[in-house]
Amino acid sequence: MDIVTYRELEPKDEIMMLMELAFWWPVSPQDLEEVINIDIRLKNSPVGFCAVKDGRLAGFVGVMDIPTKTVNGETEIVGGIWAVATNPDFARQGICQSLMEEAHNYFLKKKYRFSFLCTTRTIIAYSIYDKLGYTEVKRKNQFPSVYKVLNKAEPGDKKTDTKLDHEKIYKIYEKFMEEKIGFAVRQKDFVTMSAKRKRVDEGKSIQKGKGYALVTDFRNVIMVQDIVALDDATYGELVDEIEKLAPNGVLDRIVADERLLSIYESKGYRVQKGDNSVLMVKNLTDDSIDKVYGESFYMGSLDWF
């Protein structure tokens, strides 16, 4: 078995089927290249490591260079693991572990102190990550989800009259994140990048003077991907407008702001405290996550990778 970076992999055609087998989202090399060129977490990285066996793509482990904010207010780059996949034809041959070790070696060469990944407790890979030294970031994994069923007789209003001002949204985000720790740093054109990755529907997203809500529509349920406001009144206005768009309901998977949670509860939203989707971290040096990030750790839905 040979291990090469994704940039070195030729041809790249098999990546589409591998992603379909692992995640049910086939991505062509052309689409992936567009994402690589626009996402700063991938732009200067190897993108991932690939196991090639008998001339076939046997497995893939993606790597990201992710900016975070430490308790001292400094920006620190950490490693990010994404899209871990093994072709079923090559299962139980140690491919995943070999690729993960290659990824960790890359992070160590870059002098990163931590490797993060997003996963769910219900899949087999969770136990593999545990054996490799990953532990749950409990402060982030305690963030609740909220939802509200609407079941309107008429479809929701289609918001198409206001074009989002990406620069102003970024300024609101920066202001909101001034005191936040963790995944509290984004590229300036994160709205453009998120829309390209189909994480945001700009036509249905909402912008106010002191806040914004970036959303998608999934089977007539509005999924809140990012909602930020500088005051409670704006939070309330944003939630009200989101409901106008939603035929069947609204769901926000990660509510990281206690002020927003209170607004949701005041408007009749139900709270789900437990979630099998988790953020995990591996210490690559002797420094602990508690030392670097303190007692809090912020992460929104759009920061999921």
Question: Pick from 299, 303, 276: which is nearest to 289 by CA?
Answer: 299
Q: Are residues 8 and 138 in the same domain?
A: yes
Q: Are residues 105 and 154 in the same domain?
A: no
Q: Are residues 212 and 250 in the same domain?
A: yes
- Per the DSSP assignment, residues forming a β-bridge with 5 are 49
Q: What is the pLDDT of residues 107-127, one digit of tens each?
A: 999 999 999 999 999 998 999
Q: What is the pLDDT of residues 45-73, one digit of tens each?
A: 999 999 999 999 999 999 999 999 999 99
Is a pLDDT exceeding 70 seen at residue 154?
Answer: no
Q: Are residues 10 and 132 in the same domain?
A: yes
Is a pLDDT exceeding 90 seen at residue 158?
Answer: no
Q: pLDDT > 70: what percent of the chain?
A: 97
Q: Are residues 45 and 100 in the same domain?
A: yes
Q: Are residues 134 and 8 in the same domain?
A: yes
Tell me, what CATH number does 172's domain have?
3.40.630.30
Model pLDDT, residue 161: 59
Token digits of residue 8? 């070195």
Q: Are residues 89 and 11 in the same domain?
A: yes
Give 115's contacts (C-beta < 8 A, 6+ positions apart).
Answer: 78, 79, 80, 81, 103, 104, 107, 134, 281, 282, 284
Q: pLDDT > 90: what percent of the chain?
A: 94
Quote the number of domains for the chain: 2
| Pairwise CA distance, residues 139 & 143, whole Å | 8
**Residue 161: which domain range?**
145-272
Is a pLDDT exceeding 90 seen at residue 106?
Answer: yes
Query: Average of pLDDT values for 2-13?
Result: 98
Q: What is the pLDDT of residues 166-176, one digit of tens each?
A: 999 999 999 99
Q: Are residues 136 and 102 in the same domain?
A: yes
Q: Are residues 99 and 156 in the same domain?
A: no
Q: Are residues 122 and 16 in the same domain?
A: yes
Torsion of CA 200, 296, 135, 254, to 10 degrees: -30
Model pLDDT, residue 152: 78
Token digits of residue 169? 């949204």
Q: Are residues 35 and 133 in the same domain?
A: yes
This prediction's pTM: 0.94
* Average pLDDT of the chain to the nearest whole number: 95
Is a pLDDT exceeding 70 seen at residue 159?
Answer: no
* Placement of tokens 């732009």 in the chain: 43
Measured from the Cβ of residue 235, the count of other Cβ atoms closer than 10 Å reads 26
Per-residue pLDDT band at 151 (split at 50, 70, 90): confident
Q: Are residues 171 and 231 in the same domain?
A: yes
